[in-house]
Amino acid sequence: MYNDEVMDRYQNPAKNGKMEDFEIKIDEASSTCGDRIVLYIKTDGNGRISDMKWQGEGCILSVVSTDMFCENAIGKEINSLKEQDDLAFVENFPIKISPGRINCVMLPLRAFRRGTKEK
Amino acid sequence: MISDFCKKEDFPIFKKKFNGKSMVYLDSTATTQKPKQVLDAIVNYYEGSNANVHRSVYKLADDATELYENSRSNVAEFIGARSNEIVFTRNTTESLNLLSFTIGESLRKGDRILITSMEHHSNILPWMRLEERGIYLDYVGFDKEGHLDIEDLKSKLKRETKIVSVTHQSNVLGTINPIEEIGKVAKENGSTFIIDAAQSVPHMPFKMKEQYDFVAFSGHKMLGPMGIGVLFGKYHLLEEMPPFNRGGEMIKDVDFHSAIFEDPPIKFEAGTPNVEGAVGLAAAVYYLKKIGMEEVRSHEKHLTSMTLRKLEDLKNVKYYGPRNAEERGGVIAFNVKDSSNLGNDLESKNVKVDRLYHSHDIATFLDERNVYVRSGHHCAEPLMRSLHLPGTARASFYVYNGEEDVEAFVSSLGEL
């Protein structure tokens, strides 16, 4: 299914697991597909991400997108992550996404934007 | 194919190829494909008879009105009703909303409405809105195989239960509910009995019974066009109800501060109606009648039992609803166990997790093989909650599907 890069990350996610000393915790649930994802975020105190992990379950695309998001976020500013373009975000995913599955890939970015609104 | 009267070639969409391959369409519970006969009827209407109905006195307008009213008679005859008991709506959802905004409005604080836990959102949300006014919404449960719990229904039927509204066939479990029996019990209780027949009228012989007060269904789920739906209502009940929408067409007389409404069913059809939809639906009804609804039912039953047998051989597949094809329609919701190992911390704690593939992943996997199934919660979230599932994939059959579609579906699923 999908391609090797996607399936490898699905089976061996890099950033899956609980974080104890997080600063921000975001619970995201998508009622339309039953996905439930928690994002744990740690910052360097200056608005830059120092670590990010996730827990939960979802479809392969939302899990892989979330895991990539956590890994890619490290060292980046919260604001620049929030302001990235939706279309570019979806296009950066390793495989082409059909319109019906865009929400799956967008899940971590939407959660991140919502959970860091006032940060 | 199902019979001499229904060939796959009748359906132009099946000529379409994706990467050189034909499609296996298994989502007729969501909407059905349309035969050329239906498409021709719509084009012929616009090319030969288009005018506004019930208004003008010239010949073309008479033609249009006659076509529209004949469509109504054909639909009425199809379910054993009278023409003046058939209201054309947009779809099942609108038919049920019409009831909520008319008979629903007449309920008082403390009254109750009884539905089931296997309803589509269209038979939940129109009633849920009345809870704000102190009206209670009760749900009948179902057993492990998806049979409605009739004892639970009886126990929840109270003196205050003014409306009982039940799906004839679940759009997820496939369960065919004993509506004759439920209707009797509801009428003995003095309740108004409503049937959501969106998944039954298209798929099996439907016989009108004395205990049925209202029956709702959609044209697009029975080979007809989108945007035309039906509400059957007993004439005396339709007569007592206030109008739903108001405006053109539905009046006899309008003064500055008062109006006299038309008789049913026109009273409920404000504005220019969907004439092409009615004409297309009548053509669909004609097409189904030529096949014969007994034949439609037995064809789907055959495909369903064949599929269930094959799915039972796939160890990682779980399907929901009755195991006996006699008790269910041609809709099969299922999930697939994911044996690949996700580096989940539950696994590291030696907790045995029965992971399921997400239904969207199953649907995308099958899509890559040109097999089209639905995924998600199927507009029945309370049902999904009762099953403790986030969603399922779902395959469903209709007259144009054959054994080759079952083979393609099951063998593709086997590759997962």
Instruction: Kindly report, residue by residue over B206-219, the tens digit of the pLDDT.
Output: 999 999 999 999 99
The answer to whether the CB of B181 falls within 8 A of the CB of B150 is yes
Helix ranges (H only) for chain A are 4-11, 60-73, 78-82, 86-91, 102-115
User: pTM here?
Assistant: 0.92
Mutate to test the interface with B, among A18, A55, A57 (most CBs of B within 10 A): A57
CB atoms within 10 A of CB B292: 16
| B340/A61 touch (CB, cutoff 8 Å), yes or no | no
What is the CATH T-level fold of the domain B38-290, as seen in this structure? Answer: Aspartate Aminotransferase; domain 2 (3.40.640)
Contacts of A32 (CB under 8 A, 6+ apart): A103, B376, B377
A49 min Cα distance to partner chain B (Å): 23
> Which stretches within B323-402 are classed as H helix?
345-348, 359-367, 381-386
Tens digit of pLDDT per residue, chain B (416 long)? 567 788 999 999 999 998 899 999 999 999 999 999 999 999 999 999 999 998 889 999 999 999 999 999 999 999 999 999 999 999 999 999 999 999 999 999 999 999 999 999 999 999 999 999 999 999 999 999 999 999 999 999 999 999 999 999 999 999 999 999 999 999 999 999 999 999 999 999 999 999 999 999 999 999 999 999 999 999 999 999 999 999 999 999 999 999 999 999 999 999 999 999 999 999 999 999 999 999 999 999 999 999 999 999 999 999 999 999 999 999 999 999 987 655 455 445 444 456 889 999 999 999 999 999 999 888 998 999 899 888 999 999 999 999 999 999 999 999 98
Q: Please give the domain boundaries of chain A with CATH numbers for all domains.
A: 4-115 (3.90.1010.10)
How many other CB atoms are there within 10 angstroms of residue B255's CB atom? 7
Q: Is B72 exposed, middle or buried (0-12, 13-18, 19+ CB in 10 A)?
A: buried
Contacts of B126 (CB under 8 A, 6+ apart): B93, B96, B97, B99, B100, B101, B104
Q: Cβ–Cβ of B360/A59 closer than 8 Å?
A: yes
Q: Looking at CA atoms only, how far is residue A16 from chain B in angstroms?
A: 7
Domain B8-30+292-414 belongs in CATH node 3.60.10.10: no
What six digits make up the tokens of B211?
């205990």
What are the residues whose beta carbons fall under 8 Å from the beta carbon of A51, sequence distance 6 or more? A19, A41, A42, A74
Q: Using CA atoms, how far apart are residues B267 and B248, in angstroms rounded to an integer?
A: 10
Q: What is the ipTM, given to two decimal places?
A: 0.85
As a whole number of angstroms, the distance between CA B33 and CA B18 comes to 17
Of B242, B189, B243, B239, nearest in space to B211 by CA: B189
Mark yes or no for CB contact B344/A16 under 8 Å: yes
Between helices B293-313 and B275-291, what is the axis angle to 10°?
A: 80
Question: Catalytic site residue B379?
Answer: yes
Q: What is the helix, strand, coil percentage profile of chain A, to 5?
A: 40, 25, 35
Specify the amino acid at residue B20: G
Out of B61, B251, B379, B416, the active site residue is: B379
Q: Please give the pLDDT value at position B351.
A: 44
Q: Which residue of B has its CA nearest to A30?
A: B390
- List, in order, residues 6 or more apart from A11 with CB less than 8 Å away: B340, B341, B342, B343
Instruction: Please answer whether residues A64 and A6 qualify as being in contact, where contact means their C-beta atoms are separated by less than 8 angstroms.
Output: yes
Task: Give the helix ranges, DSSP H, for B111-208.
Answer: 125-128, 150-156, 179-188
Residue B227 backbone class (left: φ over 0; alpha: ψ -120 to 50; beta: rest): left
State what percent of residues in chain B have pLDDT above 90. 89
Spans of all domains in chain B: 8-30+292-414, 38-290
